[in-house]
Amino acid sequence: MKTLVVANWKENKTIAEAEQWTDGLNKELRIKNEGSVEIIVCPPSILIPILHSLFIIPNSPLRLGAQDVSKFEEGQYTGEVSAKMLKGFVDYVIVGHSERRKYFGETDDDVKLKVEQCLKHNLIPIVCVSHLKQVSKCHSIKVSQMIFAYEPLFAVGSGKADTPESANEFAKKIKAEVGQDVRVLYGGSVTAENVKSFVEQPDINGVLVGEASLEAEEFAGIVKTIPIRTRRTR
Ligand code: PGA
């Protein structure tokens, strides 16, 4: 199984900047890419179609994800983008990010509905959680097709990452609760300097990167730093 590296651009980048980033990343990764890392780029939804066309190149390690999805199937919900609309463009959707919970009032019930929409339309939800209660809320859902991202609130956007040991403990607890097949990422102030210490942990399957994903060179540095020996088959 590949190590996952997810770029969460949040509310950043114009079309020109997104094109420049893709160009920069492709150049950087041509130098060193053993193909054991899957890179999932999650731009603002308006940039998804343009990136979709840029990412269709043979053997590209780049995949697309959305940062959010509507909890509704379709209808009178101004401003929303449904799972059905995203399907065909993206393979993954970040769901329940702490910024959605904090600034847009998303509840665990909303997150559950969004996860259900993703699974119904064959998209893989990357469910962001900061405590175990949020994990158990998704329990009734097919967990083998889900990814969890453990993102402690103090670490998101702060420059102060959790310790790899503590992140691994949390990942282990998620797997104990949900099943050993579920993939768990760590997110919160991941950089090229600390990424190795997280992906070397036995229960961490990848990372979710915010700030350090915005510059192509810095982000490529993260991808290239992931040591081959951590690229497990489990
Ligand atoms: P950060 O963001 O890397 O800037 O801490 C991570 C995230 O919000 O997913």
**Nearest C-alpha to atom 9 of ligand 1 is from which residue?**
210
Residue 41 neighbours by CB under 8 Å, 6+ apart: 6, 7, 9, 51, 55, 62, 63, 64, 65, 213
**pLDDT (tens digit, 9 = 90+) per residue, 87-96?**
999 999 999 9
Helix, strand, coil % over all residues of the chain, rounded to 5: 40, 20, 40
C-beta of 194 in contact with ligand 1 (< 6 A): no
d(CA 96, CA 77): 19
Is the pLDDT at 59 greater than 80? The verdict is no
Q: Which residue has the tokens 């920069």?
A: 24
C-beta of 190 in contact with ligand 1 (< 6 A): yes
Work out the mean pLDDT of the chain and round it to a whole number: 92
Is the pLDDT at 35 greater than 70? The verdict is no
Q: Please name which of 43, 57, 55 lies closest in space to residue 15, comparing C-alpha atoms.
A: 43
Backbone torsion region of residue 68, taken as left when φ is above 0, otherwise alpha when ψ lies between -120 and 50, otherwise beta: beta
Give the containing element (helix H, strand E) for 109: helix 108-120
Is the pLDDT at 101 greater than 50? The verdict is yes
> Where would I find the H helices in the chain?
15-31, 48-55, 83-86, 98-103, 108-120, 132-136, 164-178, 195-199, 216-225
Report pLDDT for 143.
Answer: 79
Q: If pLDDT is split at 50, 70 and 90, which confidence band does 124 have?
A: very high
Kindly state the tokens that stand for 160: 């102060």
d(CA 12, CA 41): 13
Is the pLDDT at 232 greater than 80? The verdict is no
Q: If pLDDT is split at 50, 70 and 90, which confidence band does 69 have?
A: very high
Q: Which of 97, 99, 106, 116 is catalytic?
A: 97
Q: If pLDDT is split at 50, 70 and 90, which confidence band does 231 have?
A: very low
Mean pLDDT value across residues 11-28: 95
Domains of the chain (ranges; CATH) run 3-232 (3.20.20.70)
Is the pLDDT at 230 greater than 50? The verdict is no
Catalytic, 139? Answer no
Residue 73 neighbours by CB under 8 Å, 6+ apart: 82, 83, 84, 117
**Nearest C-alpha to atom 3 of ligand 1 is from which residue?**
210
Give the SS3 label for residue 114.
helix
Question: Is-contact 41 233, C-beta < 8 A?
Answer: no
DSSP assignment, residue 193?
A: T
d(CA 211, CA 68): 18
